[in-house]
Structure 1
Amino acid sequence: MARLLVVHHTPSPTTQSMLESVLEGAHNDEIEGVEVVVRAALTASSPDLLRADAVVLGTPANIGYMSGALKKFFDETYYPCMADTAGLPYALYVHGNSDTTGAVRAVESIAKGMSWTQHRPPVTVTGELTAADREALWELGAVTALAALGDSVTP
């Protein structure tokens, strides 16, 4: 069975809603053969990452950067997993009150250093979550679950 790893930091109601939308998409009934593993960024580990066939990363934008929790995940997995996860499809969602640019840039830079493949453009939300944002997050979860199967077709 393929495995989608969702690594998130959800300190606010908005980031929690974003995570829930991603998970709804990943658990779409039309997608079979994918186990969705959800880990808080502070508890996600190298073994979790090494067993993943695709990964979704979720973070708030804090002071122009990704959360410290997601940074800790990268600090602990970068060297132990870099060689064995090259080519891993990944997707990203970020929430910020006013800007997400720095957080997106930081995650993309680290993922590039790990030779991961960005499967979809990031879903970024500033301010309140809209219905269109929820739909984009649902799709992000669904298509990244398909990527875990090695399928790039949108459901």
Structure 2
Amino acid sequence: MPDKKKLIIIAHAPSDNTQRMVQAVIKGANHPDITNVEVKFIAPLDAQADDIKTAQAIIIGTTENLGYMAGLIKDVFDRCYYDCLDHTQGLSFSYYIRAGHDGTGTRKALETITTGLRWRLVQEPLICKGDFDEAFITQCEELGLAMAASLDAGII
């Protein structure tokens, strides 16, 4: 049997609701019909360049902090960027933002960094804006499922 493809999820989840969101992404990615994907959640402080370099796809989750991504997610990029630069070009990725406002600055920052890394956005980013809505949980689960199913099917 061939090795399973690896989907990593790196997410900052400082509140109960953002923890629920990352758990929903993980749940969707681990759907029982998906058989050839290993899903691994990595907390931002634990994420290393080797984790990213060995993945076939990645989902980034962040809060919007002062119109920018969470500092711990930025830290992942600060620590891993140059080690990944020549090794992860074309990496399939998507992301979600828990935005109290509109997520514009956070989205722009993520696009700038991932463009520099030459990663390939394969799923429309999920921007969860405004007051918390229970629909965010379903949307996060769908994001995880879509990424894992696409990886499992060889689409990405």
Q: TM-score, normalised by structure 2?
A: 0.92
Q: Does 1:84 align with 2:90?
A: no
Partner of 1:128: 132
Q: Could you report, residue by residue, the CA deviation over 1:77-109 in whole angstroms, capped at 9, with x for unpaired residues?
A: 111111110100101011022221111111111
Unaligned runs of 5+ in 1: none
Please give the residue correspondences for 1:52-91 in structure 2 after superposition, counting only pairs within 5 Å.
52-91=55-94
Cα displacement (A) at 1:54:
0.1
- The farther-off stretch of 5-14 and 53-62 is 5-14
Q: Output the amino acid matched with 1:130.
A: E
- The farther-off stretch of 106-115 and 133-142 is 133-142
Contact 2:7 2:56 in 1 (8 A): yes
Contact 2:35 2:152 in 1 (8 A): no
Q: Does 1:145 align with 2:148?
A: yes
Unaligned runs of 5+ in 2: none
Partner of 2:102: 99
Contact 1:57 1:92 in 2 (8 A): yes
Cα displacement (A) at 1:10:
0.5
Contact 1:54 1:147 in 2 (8 A): no
Q: How many Å separate the matches in 1 of 2:49 and 2:151?
A: 18
Cα displacement (A) at 1:15:
1.1
Cα displacement (A) at 1:150:
5.9
**What SS class does the counterpart of residue 92 from structure 1 fall into?**
strand
**What SS class does the counterpart of residue 85 from structure 1 fall into?**
coil
- The farther-off stretch of 141-150 and 84-93 is 141-150
Q: Does 1:17 align with 2:8?
A: no
Aligned counterpart in structure 2 of residue 112 of structure 1, from 112, 115, 118:
115
Q: TM-score, normalised by structure 1?
A: 0.92
Q: How many Å separate the matches in 2 of 1:54 and 1:147?
A: 10
**What SS class does the counterpart of residue 30 from structure 1 fall into?**
coil
Give the percent of matched residue pairs that are identical in Structure 1 and Structure 2.
Answer: 34
For the structure 1 residues 35 and 7, does the alpha-carbon distance in structure 2 shift closer, same or farther, using more than 3 Å as the test? same
Q: Output the amino acid matched with 1:62.
A: N
